[in-house]
Amino acid sequence: MRPTPHKALGAGALTVAALAALVLPSTPAAARPAAAPAACTPAQVITNGGFESGTSPWTASSSTVITSRSGQTAHGGGSYAWLDGVGGTHTDTLTQSVTIPAGCGTATLSFWLHIDTAETTSSTAYDKLTAKIGSTTLATYSNLDENTGYVRKTLDVSSFAGQTVNLSFTGTEDYSLQTSFVLDDIALDTSDGTTPPPGDSTRTPAAPSYTVNLSSDTSGTVWTGHESATFTNASATALGEVYLRLWDNYHGTCGAMPVKVSNVTGGTAGDLSVACTALKISLPAPLAQGQSTTIGFDLGITVPSGADRFGHDGAFSFIGNALPVLAVRDGAGWHLDPYTNNGESFYSLAADFKVTLDHPSTLLVPATGTSTDTPGSSGRTVTTATASKVRDFAWGAGPFTKISGTSPGGVPVNIYSVTGISSSSAQSMLSTAKTAVDAHAARFGAYPYGELDAVIDNNYWFGGMEYPGFVLDLVSTTALTHEIGHQWWYGIVGDDEYTSPWLDEAFTDYATDLALGKTGTGCWNSVSWASSAEKITNSMAYWDAHSSRYSTVVYGYGKCALHDLRRVLGDTAMATLMKDYATAHWYGVSTTAEFKAAAQAATSTDLTSFWTQHRIEG
């Protein structure tokens, strides 16, 4: 997305105490023969870390700590641990005894934490949550770390291998103003340091294939029909359930949902969660690694009024993120982050779509993928769109004015304009799109999605928005070049947009600069951090709490950091790095750690200080 300037930042910092060195009693070497080191059996040693199986084996200070009551929401599933939130002097505890296998070189504690508070201070930690293992304090969080949504925390507990110890969380409030510490999806993964732990980093459900048949009303704002999703469990950990993301329910209420799923087959629908944007579907039997299955459901979509990425501007509908897609489970568990209107929350794996849209012939229907039109019943047209290896599917509907062309590189480009866009503006956007798609393809690899559709409306509040093969945009050369750049950075090279928004926005703004001949010379000189907590690599949970700084830091500072990296590596080495990195992650998922490793491999210069200076962590 290319936002119109209106965003911000600040924040609390967490304090992580150094793990105490563990000193074992020594025995003279002559007293016993040397023993072979214990073999590590990788394991996830927390039981019931998502609190979905009651309270056992957790010990809590009260029966209300592990809960599903209203007032907070789970990160995944329906239950969570809620410590404090009383607003008076209070202490809550949560404890589980864990055995960390001997011989394991790596042991990592992870959990998702949400903090909300009524405290107004920006400097005093009145209320605190302490994470401990045995008697060692691992981390302390406070009301100063308030965040929107959940944030994943990871702590190294490798030095406790071979021990049975208590893992504990203690929340304390002072005499006034509540602070709630909400925990979910707690895990303690061990490995030999070279292989991933079980529940590993394997992303699943993999290779989704969606088949959708929808029919619209006369205006193209109400769509009803059926969707099915076929998928495979790629993980060694069995898959007992999946989650559908009904993202556009953000634009309504749980009592009046714009996206409704009913009559589920192939599984049992559970409760909606995350403000009705996540629907759990329990499978009839756990799906083992390599096994595939299909779920299906009836689907109803009602497009609200408004020139939004899901909305209608008069007769013109824009239908982004409306089709339910499968959430991702990886080493961090299920990713069930909240919708953000400030940026994107969308994390999905490359999938195949076949979408059939039956609509009045008076409406043009641009869509993701390659489309063909056939006559339907009287006065109607059936648009069939097919797309391979895309992360989402979007379409529009309305009496658009359409012009078309082909880029010099051979990519068909279509410009769809709403009423009020002049023919000269449309022609300008067609020229921009043809130039941009070829410029990005030359740098990062050939555009793979067949045709490219751009829907132009100057009423979009958000500037522009990307979907595979389909973008929404203002009349703007820079914005359209940016959204087309997203075809590579988010579309082809995916990322977790909620956790690491810089991996698509900063990379795309950098690509936009290159396509427009901008070198970013001296742009880092204007960097001014708002706080010590402000980092290019912060998540959307952070940026939603500091929204006015989001665009400045993630887009602006992010692309400047990449320009600086180019100056460290040299133009040729940076160009090679970016193209090779895109190729290595084609239809995959990028992480900050992977990009940093690839950049370091491209130079003999130690980049440690570079990452520190530019606040790129991960």
The 3-state secondary structure of 350-408 reads CEEEEEEEEEECCCECCECCEEEEEECCCCEEEEEEEEEEECCCCEEEECCEEEEEECC
Task: Yes or no: say if 291 and 249 are a contact pair by the CB < 8 Å rule.
Answer: no
CA–CA separation, 301 vs 251, rounded Å?
12
The CATH H-level superfamily of 43-191 is Galactose-binding domain-like (2.60.120.260)
Is residue 136 a contact partner of residue 148, using CB atoms and an 8 Å limit? no
Three state DSSP letters for 295-338: EEEEEEEECCECCCCEEEECCEEEECCCCCEECCEECCEECCCC
Tokens at 357, concatenated: 């849209």
How distant is the alpha carbon of residue 130 from its chain centre? Answer: 27
479 Cβ neighbours under 8 A, 6+ residues apart: 2, 463, 464, 473
Instruction: Give residue 7's pLDDT.
Output: 30
> Model pTM?
0.72
> For 331, left (φ over 0), alpha (ψ -120 to 50), or beta?
alpha
Please provide the DSSP assignment of 474-504 as one string. -S-HHHHHHHHHTTTBTTTBB--TTT-THHH
Q: Which residues contact 166 (CB under 8 A, 6 or more apart)?
A: 95, 96, 97, 98, 132, 133, 134
Question: Do 187 and 49 touch, CB atoms closer than 8 A?
Answer: yes
Q: What is the DSSP letter of 246?
A: -
Per residue, what are the HEC states of 450-480? CCEEEEECCCCCCCEEEECCEEEECCCHHHH
Q: How far apart are CA 283 and CA 268, in angstroms?
A: 7
> Given this model, what pLDDT does residue 39 score?
61
Per-residue HEC secondary structure of 29-88 comes to HHHCCCCCCCCCCCEECCCCCCCCCCCCCCEECCCCCEECCCCCCCCCCCCEEEEECCCC
Q: What is the mean pLDDT of each run of 10 residues along the chain (618 residues)?
A: 49 30 33 47 84 91 94 85 96 95 84 93 93 92 87 86 93 96 91 54 92 98 98 92 97 96 97 94 93 97 97 98 96 91 95 98 98 96 97 98 98 98 98 98 96 98 96 98 98 96 98 97 94 95 94 97 97 97 95 95 96 95
* Confidence at residue 151, expressed as pLDDT on a 0 to 100 scale: 84
**Calpha distance 376→361 (Å, rounded):** 9
Residue 427, helix vs strand vs coil: helix
In this prediction, residue 15 carries a pLDDT of 32
Dist CA 367 CA 357 (whole Å): 10
Residue span(s) of the chain under CATH 2.60.120.260 come to 43-191
Residue for token digits 């214990």?
Answer: 38
For residue 532, the model assigns a pLDDT of 94
Class of residue 314 by CB neighbours under 10 A (exposed 0-12, middle 13-18, buried 19+): middle
Residue 40: the pLDDT is 67
Question: What whole-number distance in Å separates Cα of residue 361 and Cα of residue 189?
Answer: 56
Cβ contacts of residue 305 below 8 Å, gap of 6+? 311, 312
